[in-house]
């Protein structure tokens, strides 16, 4: 497979695949394709794995697209202004990503549910108690809300991240939740009560425009009618 990511900040990834090659994607992510791309809807691993994906923010079923009778092309567009990032997934190079971040991948990539080791990381960290884990082998495409900023954390290094700004991290990283110091800071600082601390070693990707932040900024201007 060869691919090109175009169109930021309203991106799409265009994939050129060889005959017999298969890509998997969440339901509804396909934007356009050549006529020889055959679609098959599947639970991709059984109902147990399908339910796990659903709880991690993905769709219950996935679509498989296979090029038949020759090479083909298929494109997947992001659902929110931002970036699409490609990750090379392999044993020992798994990625943990935010809920609903998975867009598409080669068929060798496995999407599963990922629980934070500490319950507090889920209930207070903003990134969610449940995240998505990408494992197996192949290229995976992930949606980033806004612009993506990448850091490589060494062992012992950490980054304090506000709610929703953690988009992805290598599986070697860990998350810890800490309270904002000082009662006045908690009540009047505008940064909430808890922060997420991401610890290395490993690569992390932060995003500049989380959906929840955008929703909070827009909601006061939405007029509802009775």
Residue 225 lies in a domain: no
Give the pTM.
0.83
When the pLDDT of each residue in the chain is averaged and rounded to a whole number, the result is 84
Residue 148 lies in a domain: yes
Choice between 137 and 183, residue whose per-residue pLDDT is larger: 137
What is the model's pLDDT at position 186? 44
Number of domains in the chain: 1
Residue 47 lies in a domain: yes
Residue 212 lies in a domain: yes
Confidence of residue 163 (pLDDT cuts 50, 70, 90): confident
Cα 91–96–98 angle (5° rounding)? 155
Residue 178 lies in a domain: yes
Structural domain boundaries enclosing 190:
2-217
Residue 25 lies in a domain: yes
pLDDT in tens, 149-160: 999 999 999 999
What is the model's pLDDT at position 65? 97
Residue 222 lies in a domain: no
* Maximum separation of any 2 CA atoms in the chain, in Å: 66
- Here the CATH number for the domain that contains residue 130 is 3.60.160.10
Residue 226 lies in a domain: no
% of the chain residues with pLDDT over 90: 58
């Amino acid at each position: 497979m060869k691919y090109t990511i175009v169109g930021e900040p309203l991106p799409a990834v265009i994939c050129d695949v060889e005959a017999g090659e298969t890509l998997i994607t969440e339901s509804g992510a396909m934007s356009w394709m050549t006529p020889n791309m055959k679609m098959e809807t599947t639970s991709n691993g059984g109902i147990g794995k399908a339910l796990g994906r659903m709880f991690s923010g993905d769709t219950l079923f996935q679509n498989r697209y296979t090029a038949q009778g020759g090479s083909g092309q298929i494109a997947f567009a992001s659902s929110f202004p931002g970036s699409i990032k490609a990750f090379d997934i392999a044993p020992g190079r798994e990625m943990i990503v935010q809920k609903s971040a998975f867009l598409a991948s080669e068929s060798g990539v496995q999407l599963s549910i990922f629980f934070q080791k500490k319950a507090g990381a889920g209930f207070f960290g903003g990134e969610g108690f449940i995240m998505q884990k990408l494992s197996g082998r192949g290229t995976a495409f992930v949606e980033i809300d806004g612009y993506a900023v990448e850091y490589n954390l060494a062992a012992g290094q950490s980054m304090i991240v506000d709610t929703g700004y953690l988009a992805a991290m290598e599986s070697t990283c860990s998350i810890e939740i800490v309270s904002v110091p000082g009662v006045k800071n908690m009540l009047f600082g505008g940064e909430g009560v808890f922060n997420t601390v991401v610890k290395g070693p490993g690569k992390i990707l932060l995003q500049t425009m989380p959906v929840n932040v955008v929703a909070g900024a827009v909601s006061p201007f939405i007029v509802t009618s009775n």
